[in-house]
Structure formats: structure tokens, C-alpha cells
Chain A
Amino acid sequence: MGGFAIALQPLNLGLALGGVLVGTFVGMLPGIGPINAIAILIPVTFATGIPPESALILLVGIYYGSQYGNSISTILLNVPGTASAVVTALDGYEMTKQGRGGPALAMSAISSFVGGTLSIFALVLFAPVLAEWAIRFGPAEYFALMIFAFSALSSFSGGSLVRGLVSTALGLGLATVGLDPNSAVPRYTFGQIELLDGMDFVVVTIGLFAVSEVLQLLEDTKGGQQTAAAYGRVMISAKELAGTTWTMLRSSGLGFLVGVLPGAGSTIASFLAYSTEERIAGTSGRFGQGDIRGVAAPEAANNAAANGAMIPLLTLGVPGSGTTAVLLGALLGFGVTPGPLLIQEQPDLFWGLAASMYVGNVFLLLLNLPLVGVFVKALTLPRWFLIPGVAALAFVAVYAVNGSSFDLMLMTMFGVVGYLMRKMDFPLAPVVLGLVLGPLMEKNLRRAMSLSGGEVNVLFESPIAITLWALALASLAAPTLLRMWTRDVVAEVDAAVPTGVPDEL
């Protein structure tokens, strides 16, 4: 409860509101994802000197706020704002075509709120338990856990495991650039002084995601700027609400569990929840033809998953997705090392953040029900104004990291690399995870091996480590099982959503 004293301070209240507003916008606008907004704001928050908990309230607000906003353009235009809203298009856009866009938007806001709030409840319940348990983790267990995170994201994030592994390898390779902290040997610096400090994750992330998106959108400059269909009043009947209660509850639970696991995240949660509900509904369901449960399930699940993903980030210090990896980078930049001791050592940060997430979800519900019209206006902004604006913000952010224009060169290089990777179907999220988590993985491996005097067996000795290695192996097979369970939905999405899936995890 002490958390609310932090969250309700005027600054933090304002930052939570600002964060969820920005989150709603970037979630809604196709092409600008939460990972861009978070990466751009990190150097700004460093520069303002606000305390870490306030910065985190802002950045995390963008993160979960985007899970609300992403459904707006999906439902009204059939253009998913982020990948985790793709499934919502099936029934959401169908409802709009039937003139029931308003109820679909209301359902999306309410189920987002239910998924969001329940999962914060689960977060504060389970995070301390997991932290208590994770105190036993030594370097060998951390190493195995990080291997699990890498293998899970590699196998889930792209179409192919091999391409996912290439992206992970690229991220790990970038992580080795600079002075090796253990031996002070410079690695891959090519004599450039600017590279001795290593690659800054903000520069790499903005290049890979924001700049490459700016380049990719140039392929079709006529897109964007669409007028949304009429959607009527944004409300649903008590009967519809009652009819979706169980769907929302089940999907929230499912989404939360998926979110806690590394690699999977909101997109997979939304697909799983939709497939599951479709099966449960059986012949009584009209999924794909404007069934309101088809909106409730993915929206509850993707919000719950986003919050669930905060658990491994905060209590283990091991993120499982690109966006949470960026959040880890921000925390480390503020001198906060997330891990089992975070809740005890930085109670203000943990409880303040949790309380602000409750508050933020209330803001989001209030914003999304009556103010949808304002957000929809933003969809009519012309692309020639919006995208160069985002690019300019990205430049300022990258320049602010070190005050050097060398970083702008690097950013452009990563923009081109990111563009080529997108075109050739290499996932981008594993690069960021590899870059942020790579140094920690290497440190834990070296620590484990030093303690054992070079004995490799130490990595596979404890039951926890063995379990984690087994999970890492299992995660390589998991996408096949997942594909079998969600095959029908994936086919429907491919047929119904013209723009394809935005790459963002």
C-alpha cells in the first residue's frame, strides 16, 4: 500500500498519465511501436534527472498503454497497431463492418482493463514469491536461465529458428564490442575510440526499429492517413458484458502465464487466447464473423501478458522480449539492478511501479471509453508529417546518448541493417535481447567457471539449472506445438489482415 504514496505523487501521477497517453498513440499508429517510444524517451529521462521509479512509471506506462491503443486502428481500419492486436482484427473489424465498431472498441477497452488489472494483482502476488525462490540462483542458474531466454525468443520470434538464432548471434556479437570488463581487452573496436564503451542499446534499438521502419514505410508512401469508418457510441450492453466475463477471466489468466514465460509475450498470448476461446465456444461461437468474444479474448490476454512479462524482468533481471530488454537497459542505466533483491532493496521502486500500473489502467479505461474520437483523429495525420517527426525525435534521442554525431552514423547503419533484416524475415527483437543480456550472460558464465576452477559440469549440477536447460531445449520444439494449436487462427489472420504482421515483440 506504500506504493500508492509514491504513485499518487503529482509528478508520478503526471508521468503515468503521460506514459499511457503516449502508449495509446504509439500502440495505435501502425509503424510506431512502444519499443521506439521507450528507446527514444530513455536518454530524455536520463537527462531530466528524475528518480528511477518515476522514469520507470513513464516508460512502463508506454509499454502497457500500447496494449490498449493497438486495438483502435485494428478495429476501425483493419490495420493492426502492433503484432499483439492482429488477432483482434478478425472479429473487431468484422464488427465495424456490421456497424458495431463502438461496442468493439468498448469491449476492447474493458477487456484490456480486466486483463491489465488482474495481471497486476497477480504480479504483486507472485513477484515476491518468485524473488524469494530466486535468491537461491547462483551464476550457473542465471547462465542457464539466460540461455532459456535466448532460445525461447529465437524460436518464437521469427518464422524460423535458424533466422532467430542469427539475430540472437548478431545481438551477442554487438554485446562483445568494446572493452571486455574482465580482462580489459578491447574487442571489435577497430581502433575507434567511440566503440571502446561498447554499443549503446538505445542507439542500436532506435536504428534497428525506428529508422528501419522509416525506411520501410518509404516503400509505400501512399499508405497511412485513412478515414475511420463510423463506429457509433463506444459502449456495450450489460448482456454482452456478462456474456464475455468468463472469456475475459480465462484469457487474462492464460495471457499472464504466457507473459511470464520468456520469448512468448503478448502476440502469442493473443493467438492462444483466441484459439482457446474459439474451441470452448464450439458451435455456439461465431468467431471470425464479428463475435464480441473474439475481441475480448485477445485484448485481455495481450494486456495480461505485457504485465506478466514484468515479473521475470523485475525479480530475475532477465527479460524475455525486445521491449522488456530495452526496459532492463533503462533500469541498468539508472543504476538499478533488477533481481531477487529488488523488492527488498528498492521497495519504493517496485511497489510504486505496481501501484502506478493500477492507476494507469484506470486512466486508460477512462481515456479509451469517452476519448476514442480524439485518438482516431490522430490516425488522419498525414504520413509525411508523422514519420519525419518521429525520425527527428529519434535523432535527438540518439544524439543525447553521448552528445556525439558518430552515434547518428551508427544509428543509420543499424537502420539499413534493420531494414534488410525485415525484408529477409530476420526477427529484430533477439538482437536487442542479445545486446542487453549478452554482457550479463557472459559475466555469469565466467563467474560460474571461476568458482568451479574451470570445471564445466558446474553448469549442469543443480536441479534448478538442469530444469532450465531442459526448458531451453523444450522451447525449441514449442513453436511447432503452438502452430498446431493456433493453425486455424494464423490462416484466418493471413487471409483477413492485408497489411501483414508488424514485427514487434
Chain B
Amino acid sequence: MISREQRIVAAALIAAGVAIGVEAMTFEVGFLTDPVGPKALPLVVAALLVFAGSYSLVRPGKAARWPVREAGFRIVAAAGAFVAYAVALPTIGFFLSTTLVVMALSALYGAPRAHGLAAATALSGVLWLLFVRLLALPLPVGDLWIR
């Protein structure tokens, strides 16, 4: 018996395949570059995805075991923290944003708050020294502090 989730995955594969294929048809080249052209590989990808999606409708694999509610919450929170990090990094700079994200992540992993803060500050500091001072690899200072 095929589960709802497996049906969603199969439908997503087919939809992705169709979308990739439709988009590939727009890759027109004005002049003849080569007999294969830019369309061929995307069309193969599209065909593979549509085939795999249809196949898994007929012969679904074993169902995934999803985490319990709290674990799911932790995972969503962590992914959210990473997105927030990407947004905040240019503005508040490497040191502060890395300290915050590492602290958040260690809290999600169950660290005592004081331990997490100490570890996060130390880690951000060490990484800053290592990359900016030692390897001369520029990390953002933060637009907020420069102005």
C-alpha cells in the first residue's frame, strides 16, 4: 500500500521532471553550436525524474521513520537559525552572528546555557583569529558597526 507521503514524493519527482523539461525547451540557440545543444542533458534529467516518480507510484519503497514532535521542532528551529545567520551575517558581522548561531545550536543540543555561551564566544573568537589573522581570509565585520 502506498502511503500519502510516498505519493507526495512521487508527485514531486514527476512535477520536477516536467518543470525541468518544459524549461529546457526554452533553451534556444540562435546559431548552430553543436548537434547536441544545451537542451539534451536537462531533458535526460527530466526523463529520469518522471520515470523514477512514476515507478515509485507503482512500486513504493519502504516508508521513512520521521522524528517525534520535539525533535522535529528542534530541526526546524536549527534550519531557521541557519537562515537567520545568512541574513544577519553581513549586517551584524561574523563574530556576533556566529556566537549567536553556535549558542542557539548548542542549546538545541541540550547544552547548559552558560556552557553554550562560553563555547560559542570562544569558538567565534578562535575562528576569527584563525581565518582573518592567520589565513587572511576576509570575514564580514558587519555594516552596522562600520557606519
Contact = CB atoms under 8 A, between A and B. Distances in A.
Interface of A: 44, 47-48, 159-160, 162-163, 165-166, 168-169, 172-173, 175-176, 180, 182-183, 185, 187-188, 211, 214-222, 382-385, 387-389, 391-393, 395-396, 399-400, 403, 405-406, 408-409, 411-412, 415-416, 419, 423-425, 438, 441-442, 445-446, 449-450, 453-454
Nearest to B131: A396
Nearest to A186: B27
B109 A165 contact: no
B64 interface: yes
B137 A408 contact: no
A409 B89 CA distance: 11
6 contacts: A162-B55, A172-B45, A384-B119, A388-B102, A442-B36, A445-B41
A392 B74 CA distance: 18
A386 B98 CA distance: 15
A187 B27 contact: yes
B87 interface: yes
Interface centre among A48, A162, A408, A441 (most CB of B within 10 A): A162
Contact of A169 (B49, B98, B110): B49
Contacts of B41: 172, 175-176, 438, 441-442, 445
A44 B20 contact: no
Q: Looking at chain B, what size class is its interface with the partner chain?
A: 35 or more
B71 A453 contact: no
Interface in B1-46: 9, 13, 20, 23-24, 27-29, 33-38, 40-42, 44-45
Interface string B83-102: 10111011000000010011
Interface of A is mostly: helix
Interface of B: 9, 13, 20, 23-24, 27-29, 33-38, 40-42, 44-45, 48-49, 51-52, 55-56, 59, 61-62, 64-67, 71, 74-75, 78-79, 82-83, 85-87, 89-90, 98, 101-102, 105-106, 108-111, 115-116, 119-120, 123-124, 127, 131, 135-140
Given A172-B45, A400-B131, A425-B62, A382 B111 contact: yes
